[in-house]
Amino acid sequence: MTVLVVGGTGRLGRLLVRSLTAEGERIRVLTRDPAAAGALRAQGVEAVVGDLRDPGAVRRAVAGCAAIVAAASGFGPMGTSSPQNVDRDGNLALFEAARQAGVDQVVLVSMHGAAPDAPLELLRMKYAAEQALIASGVSWTIIRPTAFLETYLDVVAQPMRRRGATLVFGRGDVAVDFVSVTDVAALIRVALRDPGLRGRAIDWGGAEHTLNELSDAIHAAAGRPGPTRHVPLTLLRVASVVARPFSPFASRVTQAAVELYVRPARFDSGPERARHPELPVTSLAAAIAAEWPEGRPLDRRPAS
């Protein structure tokens, strides 16, 4: 069967495309980037150039597919993309195209905490997409991961090269459930093949860590002790409001940082994990080793 991966050039999508291709699946990716499409084709992956917000492109991408993984997000710094027009409206168009094309299954990557009254727009838009998928008549599985461990490792480590310091939002002492994209990709692959996961919304977590623990682990992996710079919560709150007219992305990031501290993602993933003992539980150390082999991206020039 052909599996369409929407969001196949993102962190999770790239890993999923590689693993499914290695397992012999026929994969198609919808991407806005012609260069990314060319690179995918060179790897033996079918690529359709188009935007999730363009119904015509979506119909072309969906045609002939037996399954779809909806893993796109408008949260990032992607021009006019937003949670509203990607996570909600784009997915709604995707689900309607799937229904019309007779697609057998859709796996939606939502987020832990998705709800109609969630404080973050992204979580509200994810919830709207969930409800649309459930009502679509297409067989579905919804996966709600907690915060991606690798994403936050990148954020915390970002200043290392220039200043030798890590960056933490707030005091960094609140425990948050982080899950590796490796673990999420593994669950998606199971969902594509196991009929027992159809019609289920699955919250998927990993292990609890504070941002300070992430910072300490990054410095240890780099073999270079250094400072951790903290951004005060009050400053984050102000920035989330002030940045909104000029940089919606910066506003979303700072608001999310506040929410991570005020309402951290915490839940007991043990019962759900027990249903799938064969799936990986990627540790913080393993995630760091995979992200930065030999610590190279942590290399830095002396602080000026």
Q: Is the pTM of this model over 0.85?
A: yes
Q: Strands 176-179 and 26-31: what pairing? A: unpaired
259: alpha, beta or left? (left if phi > 0; alpha if psi -120 to 50): alpha
179-203 tens-digit pLDDT = 999 999 999 999 999 999 999 999 9
What CATH code is assigned to 147-180+205-266+281-304?
Answer: 3.90.25.10
What would the DSSP string read from start to end of 158-194?
TTHHHHS-EEEETTS-S-EEEE-HHHHHHHHHHHHH-
Instruction: Supply angle C-alpha 5, 251, 8, rounded to 5.
Output: 10
Query: Residue 295: pLDDT above 80?
Result: no
Lowest mean pLDDT among 60-74, 129-143, 167-181, 230-244: 230-244
236-256 tens-digit pLDDT = 888 888 888 878 878 888 888
Query: Residue 78: pLDDT above 80?
Result: no
Query: What Cα–Cα distance (Å) separates residue 117 from each residue in 96, 166, 282?
Result: 25, 33, 31
H or E segment and range at residue 139: strand 139-145
Distance of CA 263 to the CA centre of its chain: 19
147-180+205-266+281-304 has the same fold as 2-145: no
What letter does residue 126 receive in the DSSP assignment? Answer: H
Per-residue pLDDT band at 302 (split at 50, 70, 90): very low
CA distance 37 to 41: 6
What would the DSSP string read from start to end of 48-93?
EE--TT-HHHHHHHHTT-SEEEE---S-SS-TT--IIIIIIHHHHH
Per-residue pLDDT band at 304 (split at 50, 70, 90): very low
* Segments making up each domain of the chain, as ranges: 2-145, 147-180+205-266+281-304
Per-residue pLDDT band at 303 (split at 50, 70, 90): very low
CA distance 297 to 43: 25
What was the pLDDT predicted at 60? 96
H or E segment and range at residue 282: none
Per-residue pLDDT band at 222 (split at 50, 70, 90): confident
Q: What is the chain's mean pLDDT, rounded?
A: 91
What CATH code is assigned to 2-145?
Answer: 3.40.50.720
Is 159:119 a contact under the CB 8 Å cutoff? no
Instruction: Supply angle C-alpha 211, 212, 218, rounded to 5.
Output: 90
Q: Burial of 247 by CB count in 10 Å (0-12 exposed, 13-18 middle, 19+ buried)?
A: middle
- Which residues, listed in sequence order, are joined to residue 231 by a DSSP beta bridge? 169
